[in-house]
Structure 1
Amino acid sequence: MFRKTPPQTPPPNPNMPVERVTSVLGPGILWKGNLRGTGGIRIEGTFEGDITLRGLVVVGETGKVVCQTLQANTVIVAGTVTGNITAEKLEIRGTGRVWGDVIISALATEEGGFLRGQVRMEEKIEFPLETSSSESSSETA
């Protein structure tokens, strides 16, 4: 009779970026392939391949990413990234090393952070929306 109803949490919106880590690639792990989707990942091992995430990518101090492109809403680098980065926000920590061109809206670096490449700042970064198979089939009907 006097029971409080628990607050309802809205379902996650797949088009909204996730600004927290939801997956971890641990130290000692080598992953080859491409990563796409929505979520946040922390990389402490080695990742070889392209990354396109609507969310957060953290490359930890022991992390190493080798890619053609890394696209995410927010990228934090404390390890090494060899490849081009497109992000709304890029943060290079004091132990971070980036070899590649970056396209960003905001850049933050700590003393000791390293970037070798061209920097292009844009007012707004647009990420291509990936359509699911159900959306693409409904467009052809």
Structure 2
Amino acid sequence: MFGNRAQPPIKSLIAEGIVIDGNIRFTEGLRIDGRVTGSVTADGDQPSILVVSEAVTVTGGEIRADHVIINGTVKGPVHAAELLELQPLARIEGDVTYKALEMHQGAIISGHLQPVEGEEKPVLKLAANNP
């Protein structure tokens, strides 16, 4: 995904029970276990990763990072510059752009899927349902 570069560390956490009304900008890695109303955007030129946990709802803005992992609900557009991973409980109500997409059985997208423009063809991987 990031070539020879290591995946960025998750250095920030919005813990369960935290409610944020406003936009969030982060660097490197962020995990959301709380509720966010607003945009969540990776800042800077460094690789970034964003994890949206299963009991989470993010509404009212866009999500933008290099690597996005969703297992909760997002109401708004999602932009993954590199990889978008949709876990089984993922629910997206909005348009999605991605370079590579991995979608587990049970994930739902209510919106348009648009690969990131470039010379390479987008990668779509359907995750196997492992017992």
TM over 0.5: yes
2:22 is aligned with 1:33: yes
Counterpart Cα distance in 2 of 1:91 and 1:39: 17
Structure 1: state its 5+ residue gaps. 1-15, 125-141
2:73 is aligned with 1:70: no
Q: CA deviation at 1:93?
A: 0.2
* Residue of structure 2 equivalent to 1:116: 110
Instruction: Looking at secondary structure, tell me which structure has more strand per residue.
Output: 2
What amino acid sits opposite 1:105 in the alignment?
K
4+ aligned runs moved over 2 Å, structure 1:
16-20
Counterpart Cα distance in 2 of 1:98 and 1:116: 6
- Identity between Structure 1 and Structure 2 (%): 34
Counterpart Cα distance in 1 of 2:89 and 2:8: 22
Contact 1:18 1:40 in 2 (8 A): no
- Describe the shift of the 1:110–1:70 C-alpha distance in structure 2 as closer, same or farther (beyond 3 A): same
| Partner residue of 1:83 out of 76, 93, 99 | 76
Contact 1:17 1:56 in 2 (8 A): no
Deviations 1:4-42 (A, max 9, x none): xxxxxxxxxxxx996331111111110111112312111
* Residue of structure 2 equivalent to 1:52: 41
| Partner residue of 1:93 out of 87, 91, 98 | 87
1:19 counterpart SS class: coil
Number of equivalences? 109
Which structure has the larger Rg?
1
Deviations 1:50-100 (A, max 9, x none): 111051110001111113211100110011111001112111100111110
* Residue of structure 1 equivalent to 2:12: 23
Give me the TM-score of the superposition, normalised by structure 2. Answer: 0.76
Give me the TM-score of the superposition, normalised by structure 1. Answer: 0.71
